Structure formats: structure tokens, C-alpha cells
Structure 1
Amino acid sequence: MPRTAVDLVPLPGRSALAATPAHYTDAYRVVLPAHAPQEAPAVAQWLFGPGPAWVGGLMRLRDWLVRPFGLRTFPAATRPAPGTPLTTGGQLGPFRVFDVSPGEIILGQNDRHLDFRVSVLVEEAGPAAVVTTVVQFHNWFGRAYFTLIKPFHHLVVPALLRRAAGRQPAA
């Protein structure tokens, strides 16, 4: 089976995050297979579904390392059942849902050191999604923290997208 392409792309101009003040942004595009959902909330549930075991291990290590600093941790969160509607103010795993529309969903978290948002935008022209991350630092600790996790971010996001795009439809 060929490896699914995940491409680093510019932040989409039609994303709600395009106007968000940010110290850091990135966006990754993945072509969705024919059996993938077509609306952004369902695509987000699908993309952020079960990930590789090493990603879970990294998140547990991160939580263990940041706990002494009083930062928000992301314990294994319950996921809504497939098909459960996501609503503003709800949760998708460790992410808070900030905004929902058929074409885009905005997820993220706020903390003392930084705020981040993740957009899952379904492209109008075809079966593809763009996952954008926007980070706003609040202090020097936020900058230092993100400097340390940024290399992992660039591994984790494409890995999640490749895994989801290669997932077979439910039987």
C-alpha cells in the first residue's frame, strides 16, 4: 500500500484562523479517501481518532514532564461515539471545541503559557482536509515550551493524518 501524502501548505485564507494573531502557524493537507466523512466535524473525529501507539506514549511523557510546572495535562480522554455531533464548548479528546460549521471546526486549549487552536478545514474542491495549528505565546515559558515540542509537533500531526487517511472503512 503506498504511503499517503501529507503536504505542508500555506494557512488557508478561508480558514477562521487566518485572521487569528499568532506567533506560530503551520498547515498540513491530506487527501481524504472516498470512504472518509465529508463534513469538518466528522472529519476531525476521524482524523483525531486512534493514533499510533508512539503518539500516545509521547503525550504521556509530555504530561509527566509538565505536571510539576502546573501546565494543563491531557489524560486519556473519552471520545464521543462516532456520529455524535460535536458542539461549541464540547470536547474532542483533549481538545475543547471552539467553533463548528460543516466546512470547518476549531479546536484547542488555553493555558497560562500559551493558547493554541487547531482547524480542520474541508476543502470545497475535493476530498481533502487541511489541518492548521495556530499558537499564541503568553510569556517566555510559552516560547521555551513550544521550542521544545515543535519538532515533535512536526512528526505527530503528519503521522495522525497519514494513519487516518490509510484507515479502512468500518465494516
Structure 2
Amino acid sequence: MTEQTPCFRSLALREIAEPDYADVCLATLPAGASTDPAEWAQRLFSMESMPRWISGAMRLRQALVPLIGIPRAPRDVFTVTEQSGEEALIFIRDRHLDCAIAVGVDPVNRILRVTTAVELKGWRGRLYFSVVRPLHPIVVDSMLKRHTHPKARRNGR
């Protein structure tokens, strides 16, 4: 039996090869936009540029997670930790879960891609992510739309 080479590669899946959760969200890269994945990662995950409802949810998260023994996230939690080729990686290691987020740019096909892989640790990770899981793709899609659709930026969505 020959070993198959994966047709989809991502820094997120390199970091967490067997995730408990994974998704990929896509958007069309706007005309004339940067093709630097680190720049896109910083733009998408900047607290100042997130849609208001997401930054509000993040503040609520910071207030509630200590109640189940999870530490508050540091301000720089979404810092790019590595860039390789067409992807920039944000890797978050914590007691309750590890999370790898790779922001990729395909300049030829004009695609912006956010790949997320999560490894849960213990009951706190499972409890926390049971709330986050259904919202995660909605949150990432909203962040992508805010930065790739001019009307969404104007309307503050």
C-alpha cells in the first residue's frame, strides 16, 4: 500500500494534525488588496477592526471564563507566530485547548482562506468549546466579510 500525500495542506493542520474540530472559511480577495498573509491575519484578528458584536462577545468571554477555571486571554492572543509561503499562523496554546489558525492568501485565484484546527484538553476545553463551536464559522465569516465586502465595512457589520 502506498502512502497518499494530502492535497490540502495548512500550517494549522501541521500544528494540530488530528483536531477535535477543524474548519475552513473562504472569501474572495478584493481587487488591489494585499496578498501578504501576515497582514491579513493581523487585519482580521485585530480587536479594533472586528465587527462590534464579535468584540463584545470577546469581552463577555473574558468576563466569564474565569468562572470555569480558564484564564483570560492576553491582549496579544492573536499574534502571528509564523509565516510560511502563502500562510500566516496564529498558534494559541492554553490549558483548556490548543488552537491553530492559518490565514492563507491565494493570489492567483484571489481567495482568502482561514483554516482553524482545535485540540480540546479536559472538561474545561469541552465545556468552553461547546459554546464556541456553533458560533465559530459565523464569527470567522463575519470577520472575512467585514474586510472583503465594501458595504459591510461601511455599515459596521
- For residues 123 and 92 of structure 2, what CA distance do their matches in structure 1 show? 18
Question: Which residue is equivalent to 1:86?
Answer: none
Residues 39, 102 of structure 1: 8 Å contact kept:
no
- For residues 12 and 153 of structure 1, what CA distance do their matches in structure 2 show? 24
Matched, 1:23 2:20: yes
- For residues 37 and 57 of structure 1, what CA distance do their matches in structure 2 show? 28
Tell me the secondary structure at the aligned position of residue 97 of structure 1. Answer: coil
**Count of residues in correspondence between the two structures:** 143
- Unaligned runs of 5+ residues in structure 1 are 1-10, 78-92
Tell me the secondary structure at the aligned position of residue 103 of structure 2. Answer: strand
* Residue deviations 1:20-48 (CA, integer Å, cap 9, x gap): 22111000011110132112111212323
- For residues 125 and 29 of structure 1, what CA distance do their matches in structure 2 show? 15
Question: Equivalent pairs: percent with the same residue?
Answer: 35
Mark the CA change 1:33 to 1:124 in structure 2 (over 3 Å): closer, same or farther: closer
Residues 68, 124 of structure 2: 8 Å contact kept:
no
> In proportion to residue count, which structure has more helix?
2
Give me the TM-score of the superposition, normalised by structure 2.
0.80
Tell me the secondary structure at the aligned position of residue 21 of structure 1. Answer: coil
Matched, 1:162 2:145: yes
Which structure 1 residue ranges, 4+ long, deviate > 3 Å from structure 2?
none
Question: Which residue is equivalent to 1:80?
Answer: none
Tell me the secondary structure at the aligned position of residue 68 of structure 1. Answer: helix
Residues 59, 74 of structure 1: 8 Å contact kept:
no
Matched, 1:44 2:41: yes
Give the aligned residue type for 2:25.
Y
Tell me the secondary structure at the aligned position of residue 40 of structure 2. Answer: helix
Residues 27, 144 of structure 2: 8 Å contact kept:
yes
Question: Which residue is equivalent to 1:69?
Answer: 68
Question: Which residue is equivalent to 1:121?
Answer: 104
Mark the CA change 1:103 to 1:74 in structure 2 (over 3 Å): closer, same or farther: same
Question: Which residue is equivalent to 2:83?
Answer: 100
Query: Root-mean-square deviation (CA), in Å?
Result: 2.3
Matched, 1:140 2:123: yes
Give me the TM-score of the superposition, normalised by structure 1.
0.74
Deviation of 1:116 (Å) = 0.4
